[in-house]
Amino acid sequence: MTMHEFLHQVSAKNSDQPEFIQAVTEVVESIWPVYDSNPQLKKARILDRIVEPERVIIFRVPWMTDAGEVMVNRGFRIEFNSAIGPYKGGLRFHPSVNLGILKFLGFEQVFKNSLTTLPMGGGKGGSDFNPRGRSDEEVMRFCHSYMLELFRHIGPNTDVPAGDIGVGKREIGFMYGMYKKIKNEVTGVFTGKGLDWGGSLIRPEATGYGAVYFADEMLKTRAQEIAGKTVVISGSGNVSQYATQKVNDLGGKVVTLSDSDGFIYDPDGIKGEKWDFVMDLKNVRRGRISEYAKEFGVKYFPGERPWGIPCQIALPCATQNEINGEEAKTLVKNGCICVSEGANMPTTPEGVEVFLGNKILYGPGKAANAGGVSTSGLEMTQNSMRLSWTRDEVDARLHQIMKAIHEQCVRHGKEGSFINYVKGANVGGFLKVANAMMDQGLI
Ligand code: NDP
């Protein structure tokens, strides 16, 4: 079978899942030469097996509003691949969630987790529930109902969920609490837990910090650094917040943040009390980023994305397909030399082509945002040992893992003097999972 025949087959089988087809296409295009030259992998039909989740769980989540109205949402867990460890990956609560989006995220997670060097398989889950505008009590009732089904499918050695869009410490607390009550055991079944009940220091910071560490490693290959550079960031949630903090620590200047309503542009930089304001606005008051513009007298661009603001570094940290081909061209034209993806698949295929064609430093999400799941892996280790490492120890391990991921990308992605990080991440991630599947036979 040729690559095109294979991709055609995947598209036909999953025709209602465009994001999943997009993610599979990107991976398969990168790894095909490796796959095609390995008759054993082909005979074992590893690729056909790797694009099919081991298990998909879909369930009803009924819950009640504060006003006594009955609501019904759809819950999912995709247990994609356990060849190298328990399923591991976040839960997303957002109205856009559907099977195709979670399959794309679960598929990416398989390769990302492989790159971390830790023993974690890939999974993803969530619901079309929208926590925005809901009271804490409503969110709790939803989370409890969600867990009343999910609990029977997960476990510290089976499947260990974490957070993602719309799922932070509050939601993990409610879900973990219900799991503990039903199972009557205290285990490391979730990561991203609160520090007082089994969480790891640096886990909240890890995805954002990791994306900046990865940018720093890429810049070093061209004798550049973050200090003195202007950085455009999208989103204003968990990943964006800590990416902003780490850029500030390293002497860069972050000039934008956004949410799904628009973006703010602060040419003086989002730091000090301004960063504190964002943390309170988004994590405590759960308000909109437009309030930042009112508070500090800067410009707000409703309904727009920040990619038209000139910068040397761009960190997309909101959601999938948020940089299209035109926006990628604008970034490059305005002098952007480095893109490190905090979000999953934030760049469309046309955008990726622009970045690769212009040979800028482009770190795809499965490598650049792997710091989050890596630190989740470290949280699992600490839970198993019933010990807590210090902040410095976890941060040092995270930094080391990001360097190791970068090295794998360089090893597998070198094309002359250019490093194709897309190819590097896909080939590196694929080989380990494929070899483990070969070792374990036809299951
Ligand atoms: P949060 O829910 O904390 O923040 C998400 C941010 O993105 C919010 O500012 C949100 O705005 C914005 N956003 C969400 N959907 C859209 C949309 N359709 N259009 C524009 N803006 C949008 O999520 P995280 O920070 O945890 O996750 C952000 C990204 O990082 C996701 O792609 C996630 O998969 C990825 N990621 C997260 C990891 C983690 O550890 N948290 C690990 C690895 C990857 P609004 O409030 O208006 O919805």
pLDDT, tens only, 30-67:
999 999 999 999 999 999 999 999 999 999 999 999 99
Question: Pick from 348, 368, 388: which residue ends a domain?
Answer: 368
Longest dimension (CA), the chain: 64
- DSSP state string for 83-149: SSSSEEEEEEE-TT--HHHHHHHHHHHHHHHHHTTS---EEEEEES---TT--HHHHHHHHHHHHHH
Same domain, 364 and 215: yes
Residues in CB range of 131: below 8 A, 6 or more apart = 93, 139, 142, 166, 171
Same domain, 227 and 120: no
**Boundaries of domain holding 283:** 206-368
Q: Strand locations in 346-403, DSSP E?
A: 361-363
Cα angle 163, 103, 97; round to 5: 60
What are 36's two structure tokens?
A: 């095609």
CA atoms within 13 A on the CB side of 324: 3
Ligand 1 centre from 440 Cα, in Å?
36
Measured distance CA(4)–CA(8) in Å, rounded: 6
Which segments of 321-420 does DSSP mark as H helices, in order? 325-333, 349-357, 365-368, 371-385, 391-413
* Contact (CB, 8 A) for 47 and 35: yes
Backbone angles phi, psi at 372, to 5 degrees: -65, -55
- Binding site membership of 238 for ligand 1 (Cβ less than 6 Å): yes
Residue 182: C-alpha distances to residues 145, 151, 186, 195 (Å): 12, 8, 11, 22
Pairing between strand 338-340 and 262-265?
A: unpaired
- Whether residues 68 and 82 fall in one domain: yes
Tokens of 251: 């002497």
pLDDT of residue 315: 99
Told to judge if 229 belongs to the known catalytic residues of this protein, a careful annotator would answer no
Q: Are residues 155 and 251 in the same domain?
A: no
Residues 251, 277 within the same domain? yes
Rounded CA-CA distance 399/114 in Å is 17
User: Are 368 and 216 spatial neighbours (Cβ–Cβ below 8 Å)?
Assistant: no
Pick the catalytic residue from 88, 103, 112, 124.
124
pLDDT of 383? 96
pLDDT at 332: 98
For residues 242 and 204, the answer to whether their CB atoms sit within 8 Å is yes
Task: Kindly state whether residues 134 and 282 are assigned to the same domain.
Answer: no
Q: How far is the CA of 1 from the centre of ligand 1 (A)?
A: 38
Please choose from 78, 93, 98, 239 the residue to mutate so as to test ligand 1's pocket, defined by most ligand atoms within 8 A of CB: 239
**Nearest protein CA to atom 20 of ligand 1, as residue:** 260
**pLDDT value at residue 314:** 98
Instruction: Establish if 293 belongs to a structural domain.
Output: yes
Indicate which atom in ligand 1 lies nearest the CA of residue 342. 30
* Claim to verify: residue 161 and residue 296 sit in the same structural domain: no
Judge whether 255 and 334 are in contact, CB under 8 Å.
no
Residue minimizing CA distance to atom 23 of ligand 1: 165
Which ligand 1 atom sits nearest the alpha carbon of residue 376?
40
Structure tokens at 352: 């990726």
Question: What is the CA angle 30-35-41, rounded to 5?
Answer: 145
Which CATH number fits the domain that encloses residue 269?
Answer: 3.40.50.720
* Total domains, the chain: 3
State the distance from the centre of ligand 1 to the C-alpha of 61, rounded, in angstroms: 23
Measured at the CA of 355, the angle between CA 350 and CA 357, to 5 degrees, comes to: 90
pLDDT along the chain (443 residues), means of 10: 97 98 98 97 98 98 98 98 98 98 98 97 98 96 98 97 96 98 94 96 98 98 98 98 98 98 98 98 96 98 98 98 98 98 98 98 98 97 96 98 98 97 98 98 96
Which one-letter DSSP state was computed for residue 257? E
With a 6 Å cutoff on the Cβ, whether 191 touches ligand 1 is no
Centre of ligand 1 to C-alpha 234, Å, is 9
Say if residue 224 is in the same domain as residue 141: no
- Cα separation, 245 vs 391, in Å, equals 16
417 Cβ contact partners less than 8 Å away, ≥ 6 residues apart: none
In a domain, 265, yes or no: yes
Mean of the per-residue pLDDT values for the chain? Answer: 98
**Which of 187, 220, 254 marks a domain boundary?**
187
- Atom index in ligand 1 nearest the CA of residue 259 equals 11
Same domain, 93 and 226: no
- Ligand 1 pocket: which of 240, 260, 263 to mutate (most atoms within 8 A of CB): 260
Closest CA to 122 of 92, 159, 175, 168: 159
pLDDT of residue 58: 98
Question: For atom 27 of ligand 1, which residue has the closest CA?
Answer: 165
Q: Give the pLDDT confidence score for residue 153 in this predicted structure.
A: 98
Q: How close is the Cα of 44 to the center of ligand 1, in Å?
A: 37
Ligand 1 proximity of 113 Cβ (cutoff 6 Å): no
Residues 342 and 366 sit within 8 Å (Cβ to Cβ): no
Most ligand 1 atoms within 8 A of CB, residue of 94, 213, 319 to mutate: 319
CA 83–ligand 1 middle distance (angstroms): 28
Q: How far is CA 78 from the centre of its chain?
A: 15
122 and 242 in a single domain? The answer is no
CA of 36 to the centre of ligand 1 (A): 36
Q: Are 34 and 86 found together in one domain?
A: no
